[in-house]
A and B are shown apart, each in its own frame.
Chain A
Amino acid sequence: MQELLEIKKMGRQSIPLEKKVSLVSTATVAGPKESLGPLTDYFDRRNSDNIIKENSFEKAEAHMLEESCFLSLGKVGLTPGDIDFFIAGDLLNQIISANICARKLAIPYFGIYGACSTLTEGMSLGTLLIEGGFAEHVLLGTSSHNSTAERQYRYPTEYGYQPPGYSQQTVTGAGAVVLGAGGKGPAVESITIGKVVDPGITDAFDLGSAMSAAAADTIYQHFMDTQRDPSYYDLILTGDLGAVGSKLTQEALANKKYHISSNYIDCGNLLYHSHQNTNAGGSGCATSALVFLGYIYHRMINNELKKVLLVTTGALHSPTTVMQGESIPAVAHALALEV
């Protein structure tokens, strides 16, 4: 057993893949503010209001997640019965949106919590299930909703206050991706699983800074493990660091002699126009889901981007521990994708 492990793991934190695990199909469902943003054309469904004819925001979030799951399956002619495992997670307590969605899909289910890093955490686990020969198709879904997350982590939606300039807007939306053994689409080339890093941030508005430490850590480790340098990738994409966090990540890596600024973008900086008043950009599970599964996936399919390093970052705090003065632990997972 020991020998088998030695062969497959690469460096301290990375796993190269031997089989071809592809992103067969993706689907995205966007909220109203995101639908007015610059990437609106890349979303499959655009909602004009926050509650989507449901009677609560929580139901609306679960509804968007369900829609994105069914859409991603339908695009390649699959049904829930064809899927071996369903992996999902979101930002809410007890990952309730994912659970409600899993109840409807009735696929063997792993509920995961990685905060905003859920996309790559789930894709990593799904990829490993397929790589290990335990599944042919794995469905991954993730969602977040401004009105459900804000009231859990911060203030009620109608409460009037001035958020600091470095705060981020929780993105409303959902995304799903079907991972398949073989098949068409961009393939996962290697995975780097991140450690939990905590630079000591205690301000719950300052998630970008907290997560930037984790992002820098994982990207650095990925380069170390794979012996690559930033120019290997056409694009290095982080999840939801926002304006502040993405700047800190670039500078932290530059301190380590990895200069990524020429081929680096952050999903949180892409989702909104500057006049949409989102301060430092978007955050939440749906940020990377909408940008990567919508926009970047589209560009990879069209061969505009060939090698992409996707790093989604999660701030793993709870409102209770933040109030108690505990600092914010953060994690980032990286997935190298190739067409």
Chain B
Amino acid sequence: MKKLQEEKKEQEYIAAGEQNTGDNEPVIDINWFNKRKDQVHPKPPLYRNIILAFVFGGIVSIIGQLFLDLFIWAGLPEQEAGNPTVAVIIFLAALITGFGVFDRIARIAGAGVAIPVTGFANSVTAMAIEFKREGLVQGTGSKMFTLAGSIIVFGVVTAFVIGLISAII
């Protein structure tokens, strides 16, 4: 067991070391730096992004609507036609992710393709492709939902809470 005095000595060494590190005063003035870095950073083109997101989000919705109408025309009841429509959009997003086109569109479209189910499909497919070389089980299978996992978790949690509230009311 260590004597109390030894322990005290060690504490002193550590304290002395912490106080007398090399010249730790940075050359840059940190206040100046924090202010200046925000000025130097290029600003995101907000209006451009909003308009493009609106246009691309609209295009995704139109494609969805076309398929919805198609399924209804083919004889599905209106309430049940939604699910196959979503499936088609997911399939299309996954397909163009596989062709390596989605990320290029997303760079321009931003939230326009990230917010609809296309963004979800892309995040799953991108991870699946990225980790296919690590094998089916430890790669694709386990990494697939790394990005999308939280969408599922919080989606389910939200649905549960809302369901609970609506059941009570």
Contacts and interface: CB of A to CB of B under 8 A. Distances in A.
Interface of A: 12, 55-56, 151, 155-166, 195, 197, 199-201, 206, 209, 212-213, 216-217, 220-221, 243-244, 247-248, 251-252, 255-256, 277, 279-280
Given A156-B127, A158-B125, A158-B130, A256 B102 contact: no
Contact of A256 (B23, B27, B41, B126): B27
A165 B42 contact: yes
Interface in B20-49: 22-24, 26-30, 32-34, 36-37, 40-44, 49
Interface of B: 22-24, 26-30, 32-34, 36-37, 40-44, 49, 97-98, 100, 102-103, 105-107, 110, 113-114, 119, 122-123, 125-127, 129-131, 133, 147
21 contacts: A12-B23, A157-B130, A158-B122, A159-B123, A160-B107, A160-B119, A161-B114, A162-B107, A162-B110, A197-B26, A199-B33, A199-B34, A200-B34, A201-B37, A209-B41, A212-B28, A213-B27, A217-B27, A244-B42, A247-B40, A280-B42
B147 A155 contact: yes
Contact of B41 (A12, A55, A163, A165): A165
Nearest to A253: B27
B37 A248 contact: yes
Contact of A160 (B24, B43, B114): B114
A255 B32 contact: yes
Contacts of B30: 199-200
Nearest to A195: B22
A252 B123 contact: no
A217 B130 contact: no
Contacts of A195: 22, 24
Contact of A213 (B26, B41, B105): B26
Contacts of A158: 97-98, 100, 102-103, 122, 125-126, 129-130
A102 B63 CA distance: 53
A280 B103 CA distance: 19
A221 B119 CA distance: 48
Given A158-B102, A158-B130, A195-B22, A244 B41 contact: yes
A161 to B, nearest CB: 6
A237 to B, nearest CB: 19
Given A56-B133, A160-B102, A217-B27, A165 B126 contact: no
Contacts of B29: 252, 255
B72 to A, nearest CB: 30
A217 B105 CA distance: 40
A38 B30 CA distance: 35
Contacts of A56: 133
Contacts of B34: 199-200
B43 to A, nearest CB: 7
Contact of B28 (A157, A160, A216, A221): A216
B106 A162 contact: yes
A197 B26 CA distance: 7
A217 B28 contact: yes
B46 to A, nearest CB: 12
Given A158-B100, A195-B24, A209-B41, 15 more contacts: A156-B127, A157-B103, A158-B97, A158-B125, A158-B130, A159-B103, A160-B102, A162-B106, A195-B22, A199-B33, A206-B41, A209-B37, A209-B40, A248-B40, A279-B42
